[in-house]
Structure 1
């Protein structure tokens, strides 16, 4: 009984460490996404054409997504060779340092072209850090989880994504109360610099966690891949492709509902910054509450039913979403954002990480889940606001092509998910003694 209580206590501690670290990482990352339209297009990419400045700011937002797979390969190699814990300490340190330095950067007016160069360089460092963070945070949770609760445990790091976004959006919303002149001069820097405090707390918590049981068992059995990326691509290439495809609908609509909406609603529809930020904040709070419930539900009904249901719902909501925005009402803006970001996206993201972890064996799991996740994010995540803005510009501010784009991402992911068998009954203990196999059907 004592060992059982100790095990439960350790699992809970690991879950908290996974959540807090993930929240801090994504807080750092989403600060930039939120401020791309409000600040960076003006201070770091000034041009005579506001649309060009906005597109350059979104391009700088997209660039790190393409470096994330490289960060994923580097840190997942360390994670599958040395362990999950040490890797997570490295990624958090890297991400936190880059974020604080962004808050200290001088503007284009002060140092000219070096301002955007340094900004993009630090964004690349952020991309390296976040590339290795997600997979480690996920595995810290699911590899400590009881088999019958893996769906719930695996959903908790996903709430770190929304909690981080919630903290970032909320901190900026509070600062928009000051004048625009002061906000552009120094106000936007405060959330970046304060992240140093959060990073210190996250490092303190993660340093107190032991290595995950699944990795320790694999290490004891000598089941450690010599070159994890080689084994992943040799034995699990189908799973990597499935993960990439499944990630598309989880990431592209998310950045439409949370990032693109800020510039679109303020620039094209005449909404105030505060109204849009508040709508995103409320919707993010709703989805933060919904995700753990969806994760727990997946332990009962399976991962695939929730994922497919959420994907189809997002596709069906694409046109109604933009129709509600056109009504010009803050209430309908908030309702539309709550439905899209708060409710329909929740079941997809809640099961995504757990499902990924269950289609890769322990000795390449960090590499497999990270590679699939980050490649999918690079292809469909960071590019989503840029693609949406480009479509608006090409089609004379018509939102119809953007809605079709959302539907298209759903089709890609449905094709991918139909290639996977239900995974909730996968046994990590048994797989450690067998050859790695892709779980498809």
Structure 2
């Protein structure tokens, strides 16, 4: 199979479209958590405490992601990448739609945030199983010399989903009053997602199973058991590869929304503009770095991104403090360059670490553990640190440095070959 075949084009479209929908669903919850959920579901708390509680429900999705990786990784390794992907898409779509139908604290009291947590958990399960399958559908269909490039089709879903979600909220914030937005406007992005899910379902039903899965030895063994027994080192290395970029990404997007609007008093429209810039930068550079990964090797590109992230750990907060929309966008946009470098080639790099029979489980677990820590716990910790330090940003900058340093350490100890068809040996 070559990169010009109709099937490979369908695979790339299915991977990109499906992950875009999944991340759109995930990010509209993220954005709503930062902007309105504190008022709607935690109205008795202080502004910072309300945001912190909203992020706690948001973090539940990240805690659920590793569980989703195990459950859907099992099915993806045992019965097929395609079937697992279809189920994750449907789960995410239904859960997101139901969030849009949710009564608030004013209507049903404490039951409202409890139901919100349940639906967020389902979202986390779905996205936990989604990424590994979407990445493998692209990587395992692609020619070996282009697997880093085609792996980026799964990665492009994150900035596209963020762009769609943020643009939706930005438009609603611009055309609706604050009262209208909090009363019913915030529900629209959640309700509309059901249409996108239907489109993604049709596209994914048209793709074929991957050759690597068809040729893999699928003897009667639990993938998670075999993966933990034989490939736990690779899981740690894969986690480290994504950890720095994830932490920086969510600090520059999710945490930035709460920090600039709640702590610095900047308008929501300015903070949302920063998120749009983040999505545009990531989307525009994704395939640039992916092509560089095929040419120079994904390991080098990840290292370049991690070093850039270390250098840029503190400057964004200086720029946020100016109160200028322009400098806020510069702080976010430059920071996303390093994030994109690490993220764009991560799928192909981590796929190299695992044998096909446990690849869905192994790479999903690596990715989702990194997401649970970098995307779930880090924004929660960072928001809480505003209370501890009277609004100072230094703990957030320290977290960014630590996570990017961890990425570099894992790259150093996780030297892998270029073959994605055999398990790589990790030097530890």
TM-score (norm 2): 0.97
Q: For 1:166 and 1:39, how far apart are their aligned partners in 2?
A: 19
SS in 1 for 2:345: helix
Change (3 A) 1:438 1:230: farther
Q: Structure 1: 5+ residue runs without aligned partners?
A: none
Indicate the residue corresponding to 1:364 in structure 2: 358
Deviations 1:178-228 (A, max 9, x none): 10000001101001000000000000000001101111122xxx4446211
Q: For 1:89 and 1:154, how far apart are their aligned partners in 2?
A: 19
SS in 1 for 2:123: helix
Within the alignment, does 1:299 sit opposite 2:294 as a pair?
yes
Cα displacement (A) at 1:287: 1.0
Within the alignment, does 1:210 sit opposite 2:203 as a pair?
no
Is this contact kept in 2: 1:235–1:438, CA < 8 A? no
Cα displacement (A) at 1:427: 4.7
Is this contact kept in 1: 2:352–2:424, CA < 8 A? no
Cα displacement (A) at 1:412: 1.5
Is this contact kept in 1: 2:252–2:332, CA < 8 A? yes
Indicate the residue corresponding to 2:197 in structure 1: 199
What does residue range 9-408 of structure 1 map to in structure 2 within 5 Å? 9-177=6-174, 178-218=176-216, 222-224=217-219, 226-341=221-336, 343-408=337-402
SS in 2 for 1:359: coil
Is this contact kept in 2: 1:303–1:422, CA < 8 A? no
Q: For 1:414 and 1:365, how far apart are their aligned partners in 2?
A: 23
Out of 132-141 and 408-417, give the one that drifted further. 408-417
Change (3 A) 1:393 1:128: same
Is this contact kept in 1: 2:246–2:339, CA < 8 A? no
SS in 2 for 1:171: helix
Cα displacement (A) at 1:119: 0.6
Q: For 1:147 and 1:437, how far apart are their aligned partners in 2?
A: 15
Q: For 2:103 and 2:394, how far apart are their aligned partners in 1?
A: 39
Q: For 2:115 and 2:83, how far apart are their aligned partners in 1?
A: 28
SS in 1 for 2:353: coil
Deviations 1:104-133 (A, max 9, x none): 001000011111111110000001101100
Cα displacement (A) at 1:379: 2.0
Cα displacement (A) at 1:400: 1.6
Is this contact kept in 2: 1:306–1:348, CA < 8 A? yes
Cα displacement (A) at 1:384: 1.7
Cα displacement (A) at 1:270: 2.2
Q: For 1:4 and 1:338, how far apart are their aligned partners in 2?
A: 35
Q: Give the aligned length.
A: 427
Q: For 2:2 and 2:318, how far apart are their aligned partners in 1?
A: 53
What does residue range 425-436 of structure 1 map to in structure 2 within 5 Å? 425-428=418-421, 431=422, 436=423
Is this contact kept in 2: 1:158–1:349, CA < 8 A? yes
Q: For 2:198 and 2:369, how far apart are their aligned partners in 1?
A: 29
Q: For 1:190 and 1:292, how far apart are their aligned partners in 2?
A: 31
Out of 245-254 and 110-119, give the one that drifted further. 245-254
Is this contact kept in 2: 1:26–1:164, CA < 8 A? yes
Cα displacement (A) at 1:39: 1.0
Cα displacement (A) at 1:438: 3.4
Q: For 2:41 and 2:326, how far apart are their aligned partners in 1?
A: 33
RMSD: 1.4
